[in-house]
Structure 1
Amino acid sequence: MATKTLDTKTGTAGTETASTSTTTSSGETAASKKTTSVDNATVNEDEMKSSPLHKFFVSALKDIYFAENAIIDALEKMQEAATTEELKEAFEDHQLQTKKHVSRLEKVFKLIDEKPEQKECKAIKGIIEEGEEIIKSTEEGSMTRDAALIIAAQKVEHYEIATYGGLAQLAITMGHDKAADLLEKTLQEEEDTDYDLTEIAETYINFDAEQED
């Protein structure tokens, strides 16, 4: 329980001066406690790290960290399977970008004082397996395969967009502003990739695939 002490001195004019200090039961002053400010509210960082929301945030980071590493391998297979050079280059570019996303996530872990760890993401495993099935079930060298691969890749992008969008908002809520900036940067890049894949599909791949027997 906090205690308050009052020191009183009377000067020549008969006035009083008072000084106060607040201490905790452990003798620690309130000012020395490690705190962080979130929307004008002062929150103890130790309490925040033990909160259910923080634990969920970290768990979700581990989930997408696993997903990004799995996507790197998946994009290599999709690049090899693609028919057109334009789509091959798009997959190669996104693979390089995904490696940057992995490094960026490691920075996010560091910013919130957590160790980078992977947690198996069943959702992304299912999406990747679907992409592998597309490769097996479509004809090599066909535009139909490219059209199907773009859809498979966009399913990956939409999962990432939903994840990074939610994580960025949670980071803002908890006052992790620098982490939020990194997550939002990745979010924007994922949205750009999704748009680029749509452009590739609509420019000619879907039309050419429709003409195939």
Structure 2
Amino acid sequence: MKTLAELFEHTLKDVYYAENAIVKALPKVSKTVKNTELKKAVDHHLEETKGQIETLKKVFKTINVKPEGEKCDATDGLLKETDGLMTEAQGVALDAGVLAACQAVEHYEIARYGSLREWAKVLGNEKAHVLLSEILDQENAANNKLTNLAVTAVNK
């Protein structure tokens, strides 16, 4: 990669891979957590993530590239860590640990979508900028919801 456009495409493929991996992982997370509000939040984010994948397909269209993922070691690592917590943690530590792991995934996504959105703007791709802003807003809202759950219920 030598240009911002090439970096944009590479990172777009990275988040496309990540979102698809998250869709595969969230059902197990939902089945594992005990707190009903956390379970609802995970289930809601699963549906939201499916919508984000569709939105990413529209972003790919703006650059005339076929939607495809490129292996994302960061997401794979975060999901592996989440899986480990679901296996090892019990009691209060289970929901608190899984919630924190979910937030780590959200923070990664927020960083990626923030960069992509700004690169789209610099590249003059207004449609991609708007679409990526929508996803970024959803990711920030999901993170805020998790923080609220941690403070009000899960970490008690």
TM-score by length of 1: 0.72
1:92 to 43, 46, 64: 43
| 1:165 matches 2:114 | yes
Instruction: Determine the structure 1 residue equivalent to 2:132.
Output: 183
Which runs of 5 or more residues in structure 2 are unaligned?
Answer: none
1:117-172 per-residue CA deviation (whole Å, 9 max, x = no partner) reads: 11000000000000000011112xx2221111110000000000000000000000
Counterpart for residue 203 of structure 1: 152
Q: Which residue of 2 aligns with 1:40?
A: none
Does structure 1 residue 149 correspond to structure 2 residue 98?
A: yes
Indicate the structure with greater helix content: 2
Q: Give the letter for the 1:181 counterpart.
A: V
Q: 1:136 aligns with which of 60, 81, 87?
A: 87
| Deviation beyond 4 Å, 4+ runs, structure 1 | none
Please report how far the alpha carbon of residue 51 of structure 1 lies from its aligned counterpart in structure 2 after TM superposition: 6.5
Aligned pairs, number: 156
Q: Which residue of 2 aligns with 1:45?
A: none
Task: Summarize the alignment of residues 1-213 of structure 1 with structure 2, pairs less than 5 Å apart.
Answer: 52-139=3-90, 142-207=91-156
Structure showing greater radius of gyration is 1
Query: What is the alpha-carbon distance in structure 2 between the residues aligned to residue 91 and residue 135 of structure 1?
Result: 14
Mapped to 2, the partners of 1:173 and 1:83 lie a distance apart of 44
Give the match for residue 24 of structure 1: none
- State, as a whole percentage, how many aligned pairs show the same letter: 39
Equivalent position SS for 1:118: coil
Higher relative contact order (CA 8 A, sep 6+): 2
Distance 1:100 1:153 in 2: 18
Q: How far does residue 74 in structure 1 lie from its aligned partner after superposition? A: 1.3
Q: Distance in 1 between matches of 2:105 and 2:68?
A: 21
Query: Structure 2-normalised TM-score?
Result: 0.97
Q: CA RMSD in A?
A: 1.2
Q: Secondary structure at the match of 1:175?
A: coil
For residues 89 and 4 of structure 2, what CA distance do their matches in structure 1 show?
A: 43
Structure with bigger strand share is: 1
